Each structure stands twice: as structure tokens, then as C-alpha cells.
Amino acid sequence: MSVDALESASVFFSGLLAGEEFVIRFGVRGPLAGLDQQAHIEMRQGLIRTLRVLVPILFAAALFSGTASTILHWDTAGRLLRLAGVTLLLAFIVLTLLGTVPINQAIGRWDANNPPQGWRDSIRRWEALDTVRTTLAIGAFVLALVGL
């Protein structure tokens, strides 16, 4: 079985998305939590400004290439794995749009010197949602890879 450019793109972009999510979950969150309130909020706001551009690009590339690969290779043995991977990507975007994006929008408006009461609860909710998003992204990558 040969792997074509579309299948390669699907694995590549889903891998980048999973890697980005993995690094945020396991590489950034710990050190961020150790910062004082002002530095924590300012750093989080900076990450949001950067990642609200990067993540949608990676997500769209993974979703479009994964969907196209699934459709064009429907008659191959890996179709159900590819379809499951695309389904995980769709769950990822629903969770993002309904869960983390509203929290990110609120965080973007916070005054780092005087955050709203309960700001840590908002961070904990975001982190719980992000853990699920990370799992979905990694799962989509694994399915795209195994679907080859």
C-alpha cells in the first residue's frame, strides 16, 4: 500500500495539532501555575493571543486533509480509523468553541493586577477542558497514523 500526499498531510497536520496540545498540557501549564498572579495572567493572555491564530490554522489543515483523505480513500481498509479520527477532530472543535474559547475571551479582558473574583476557578475549568481537547487531538493523530 502506498501513502499519498493527502494521507501524509492528514498525519502531519493532526500530529502538529496533537503536539501543540501536548506541549501546552504537559509543558506549559505546570510552570505557568508557579507564577505569581500578575505574571500568570499576563503570560496566559500572551499565549491566548498567539495560539488563537496558530491553533485554528493547524486544526483546519488537520480537519480538511483528514476529511478529504477519508472521502478519497473510502474503499481502503483504514477508512473507519480515518473517519473516527475526523470525528475526534470535530469533537475537539465543538469543545473548543463552546468551552475554552469563551473562557479565553474572558481572560483576555482581565486586569492582571485586579482579576475577577473566582479567576482561579475559571483557570481550573479551562484546564479540565484542555485536558479533554489534548486527548482528542492525540487520539485523532493516532487514528490518522494507524489508518495509513
On the question of pLDDT at 111 being above 70, the answer is: yes
pLDDT digits (tens, 9 = 90+) for 130-140: 999 999 999 99
Q: Model's pTM, two decimal places?
A: 0.93
Helices 101-108 and 37-72 pack at an angle, to 10 degrees, of: 150
The number of beta carbons lying within 10 Å of the beta carbon of residue 10 is: 34
Cα–Cα–Cα angle for 34, 37, 41, nearest 5°? 95
pLDDT digits (tens, 9 = 90+) for 22-61: 999 999 999 999 999 999 999 999 999 999 999 999 999 9
pLDDT digits (tens, 9 = 90+) for 84-107: 999 999 999 999 999 999 999 999
CA separation for the pair 46, 108 (Å, rounded): 9
CA separation for the pair 8, 144 (Å, rounded): 9
On the question of pLDDT at 69 being above 80, the answer is: yes
